[in-house]
Structure 1
Amino acid sequence: MKARGLRTPLLLLLVTVVVMAKLNYIQRWGGFKEQATSEKNMNSTVHFFIQSYNNASNDTYLFQVQKLIQSQMQLTTGVEYLVTVKIGRTKCKKNETKKASCPLQSSKMKKSLICTSLIYTVPWANYYQIWNNSCQDSKVPI
């Protein structure tokens, strides 16, 4: 008799586990999709990236994003963005007060990089984290 009384709760538990497993499967294997570059979340994600890059860089000068080359997104427990950007060294030094606009270097100090980053964000909690970043010198203009 006790086994019969447990049948319904066990069946409900099994259905819940199967549904949750399917949702996790869809989230993990949905893959990255191309993302429109003008969206608010993308702009704040790219802004977070360049701030993080400048904070971690040993360069005396600040860098700024010149061009968003590619952006892809994937929904998980938050949003993962895979972005490729071209960044350039500005004439503004890190220790200077923030200026509204920093022109790019145009002399022998000129430097451009192509960076690909995987950025995890929970936009509704204003949380951002760089999971992976790779930058290389940009010799060819994009």
Structure 2
Amino acid sequence: MPQQVTLLLALLAMQAWSIRYEYVDVSKNLSYFLMSMEFAIFQYNEDNVDEYAYKLLRVRRSQRKKLTWIYLMDLEMGRTICKKHEEDIENCPLQEGLEEKKVRCSFLVDAFPIYTQFTLLNSTCVDK
């Protein structure tokens, strides 16, 4: 068992090292990054069982995998008073008090910009 734990830790360290050097920072305003981010937030809202929509509060990381259109993003989002399928969620106020919820998510999105096609490769979210 200790050998398995050691092997797992070594693999995680190698993955963390490779991610550090495979990804480069990109502008948060880069058009393909923005489209990928909008897709990730939309997909989060679609997959979430909560009836209320979440919107972007802060971009903590914006990166692109070298030689690809794969974007890695770390986002903070807040729960709004609007339902998922309402329009203009970006201008919807956040919930306050006991209903207030915030999440921090990492998304990995593969963009195929020529056809405006996006694929969510991975997502991990934790409540804040």
TM-score (norm 2): 0.78
Are 2:98 and 1:108 aligned?
yes
Structure 1 window deviating more from structure 2 (38-47 vs 128-137): it is: 38-47
Q: Are 2:78 and 1:91 equivalent residues in the alignment?
A: no
- Please give the per-residue CA displacement for 1:36-61, whole angstroms capped at 9, x wherever unaligned: 11111111111101110111110010
Q: Which runs of 5+ in 1 are unaligned?
A: 1-29
Of 130, 136, 140, 2:120 maps to 130
- Alignment equivalent of 1:117, drawn from 82, 104, 107: 107
Query: Quick one: distance in 1 between partners of 2:62 and 2:88?
Result: 27
State the SS of the aligned residue for 1:44: helix
Aligned partner of residue 43 in structure 2, secondary structure: helix
Which residue matches 2:13? Answer: none
Q: Which runs of structure 2 are paired with 1:70-89 in the superposition (5 Å)?
A: 70-76=61-67, 78-89=68-79
The structural deviation recorded for 1:75 is 4.1
Q: Distance in 2 between matches of 1:86 and 1:32?
A: 20
Name the aligned partner's letter for residue 102 of structure 1: C
- In structure 2, distance between residues paired with 1:91 and 1:49: 20
2:118 counterpart letter in structure 1? Y
Paired residue type of 1:136 = V
Higher-Rg member (1/2) = 1
1:69 counterpart = 2:63: no
Q: State the partner residue of 1:57.
A: 48
Percentage identity across aligned positions? 25
CA RMSD of aligned residues (A): 1.5
1:117 CA drift (Å): 0.9
* 2:60 partner letter: I
4+ residue runs of structure 1 moved beyond 3 angstroms? Answer: none
Structure 1 residues 123, 75: closer, same or farther in 2, change over 3 A?
farther
Give the secondary structure class of the aligned counterpart of 2:98. Answer: coil
How many matched pairs?
Answer: 107
